Amino acid sequence: MITLYGIPNCDTVKRARAWLDEHGLAYQFHDYKKQGVPAGKLPGWMSALGWDKVLNRAGTTWRKLDDATKAAVIDAASAAALMVAQPSVIKRPIVEWADGRLSLGFSPELFESHR
């Protein structure tokens, strides 16, 4: 089973979900806002994808953080703490594909390569 992690009002997540629906691929949606960040998954994502890529420094949530909070993110542990406290700073979507591979973000080409 494919699991897509994100927040429902994110435009990129909406495009990813629409692509999966259009291609008839069944998936579960894990909503960070309602279900939180799955603590057991975060270390694996950061290891496989890179904590600096999982942390979305280009997003609105990051830009709204105070400078001290931003400056405190110096390694995987501090990034993980922020991501658990502020799930919207996680780049979206993270997808766990049926074969166990992970992807970060959305593009039709990326998703096609995991199909």
List the domains of the chain with CATH numbers. 2-114 (3.40.30.10)
Question: Please, are residues 57 and 79 in contact by the beta-carbon 8 Å criterion?
Answer: no
* Helix ranges (DSSP H) in 23-65: 32-35, 42-49, 51-54, 60-64
By mean pLDDT, which of 9-18, 32-41, 58-67 is the weakest? 32-41
For the cut 90, the answer to whether the pLDDT of residue 39 exceeds it is no
Supply 53's token pair: 């890529």
Q: Mean pLDDT throughout 80-85? A: 95
Sheet with 27-31, strands from edge to edge, namely 27-31, 2-6, 94-96, 102-104
Q: Mean pLDDT throughout 65-79? A: 96
- pLDDT-derived band at 50 (thresholds 50, 70, 90) equals very high
Whole-number pLDDT of residue 115: 81
- In this prediction the pTM is 0.92
For the cut 80, the answer to whether the pLDDT of residue 101 exceeds it is yes
Catalytic pick among 2, 10, 65, 76: 10
Q: Is 91 a catalytic residue?
A: no
- Which residue, 83, 86, 1, is CA-closest to 41? 83
CA within 13 Å, CB half, 28? 9
- 8-state DSSP, 87: G
Whole-number pLDDT of residue 28: 97
Contacts of 25 (CB under 8 A, 6+ apart): 2, 115
Higher pLDDT, 33 or 39: 33
Supply the mean pLDDT for the chain.
95
Give the chain's largest Cα–Cα span: 45
Measure the CA–CA gap between 99 and 80, rounded to whole angstroms: 25
Q: Mean pLDDT throughout 54-69? A: 95
Whole-number pLDDT of residue 29: 98
